Structure 1
């Protein structure tokens, strides 16, 4: 009889030093629940239905790391357990085996100066040979196998993210913010884009009290001759970079737009860019760090040539 909410489960096993920690870390970054070296006899208890469990807790995929150093490790017992979890409880459970050539494992142990868990007082080669024989039944039975001999940790993590990506999991948390250079750079920004090349609404008496959220201010900024070309280039850059950040497993991406005071140009461009990203399928949050800061002429410096050009427009005053 199957349970009402079967879990999507992946057992991660293989040779010590083949990359189990890298795989589990990548899965955790993708939103999986991860447990390492859980005693085999406790897996049943872990998967037992819990009264009142939330749907998101049940739906969250689970990765369990097991290996030769796991308490009560027995490959034959593990195979029987997995078969029972599939047939009786209906869990979608798979096994990923990480293999690696013995010479490469010896090199990794030598570089890190770690001892093999099965050869604490002997050469690593002895432990590797013993472990390979112990894990042979699991290797033959596993439905996924990755040979990490020629893979760097980053390449292995990328392969895991590609193979096990699920919709809604693994996407970086995307933030778009505005700020004023007069109050310093934001500490957590990954990309900082300077909007001070655009003409400044601060020098229009009617617009100075407003912010980049006001339609009149937004229209003023958008009439800058460089606006369309520059913002199109920024859009193209972000649409190129964001999927690459996701592929590299970056958990947080913050894009910061700055202007002098953080009230006009940066605010408008941040809102406009966030809307473009939403239209492209991303889900950014927007924050305006310095929106409440008081305007001050001395912070803005002298009007630029672009600002002075606006003085020729009808109905525009320039200090």
Structure 2
């Protein structure tokens, strides 16, 4: 009995220690043989093995219904696998207290809703809640200001969140995630509601965080953006990972044509040499 108490006490004490910065290449989050069912037993993930690595951006791509957002939610601990395990810093998610998970990973969902008329700055400040009553609380103002500036929403700080446009809400929500300042970021379609310039800004921010040592997972629909910014691309098909590796290895015309069930061209830009991924479109001849 004493041994059991000591083990539990040690686990509790270790969990509530503030996390350190993972070394480049460290696996911060992993899925092992994950199956997940939703909606009356419908299997949406099957036998998924997946690793998130410090210093990398990994993009989750695939057609609608492939399981991208479901995998992200399982990694975040928002959906519980029917079998298999998800580990954060080497410990199963089920063993972490919510506050400790929030100090190690930040999540940007697809939908950005707030039930009360908080200002944009107050929403961003919510990202600092996990660090309350710790030594890192002294960085709150600095982190909030930096996040507002990085996402180009400083001018929105005093406006109420529900009054913002969809794109403005998306950028404020991203600022909250950045202010949280965790070693792992999980971003679900962060560019969906944004114009071209702000899409590029978001991916540059993700790149900066990965370069600084963070592990970044991002769900994307634009395969060209995935090719341009991701270190790894995981292609999902019918709840399984069809391929996982560097963009030039994974994003091939044959694989993408099969997965998306539509012809896809993959080629290099004639000037920059960047990898381009485009759907094959029919030619409309004038008559």
TM-score by length of 2: 0.28
Which of the two has higher C-alpha Rg? 1
Using CA pairs under 8 Å that are at least 6 residues apart, name the structure with larger relative contact order, 1 or 2.
2
More strand by share: 2
TM-score by length of 1: 0.26
